[in-house]
Amino acid sequence: MPQALTALLVGTGLVAGVRWLAKEITRVAEATRLAHDELSREEKGASIPVKDLGTLVWDPKAGAYRPSRPPQG
């Protein structure tokens, strides 16, 4: 009899855990969908201007790549 009671308690715990996990997954999926929708709405309204820096060349003094021509104002 104690084994049956233990199995019943374990089974009940597993069912409760699976239900909680399913609710959590649904909640996170909804939050992700809403965030994606909001981000796509923001992307349609504003855009970042693209700067053409030309070809980048290695500057040994600075240890970094620099544009080969100065930026045009």
**Domain spans of the chain?**
2-67
- Burial (CB < 10 A; 0-12, 13-18, 19+), residue 67, is middle
Please indicate, yes or no, whether the overall pTM of this predicted structure exceeds 0.75: no
Residue 45 binned pLDDT confidence (cut-offs 50, 70, 90):
low
Residue-level length of the chain:
73
Per the structure block, which two tokens stand in for 28? 């996170």
Write out pLDDT tens, residues 8-30: 999 999 999 999 999 999 999 99
What distances in angstroms separate CA 31 from CA 6, 18, 34, one per listed residue? 37, 20, 5
Residue pointed to by tokens 């855009």: 47
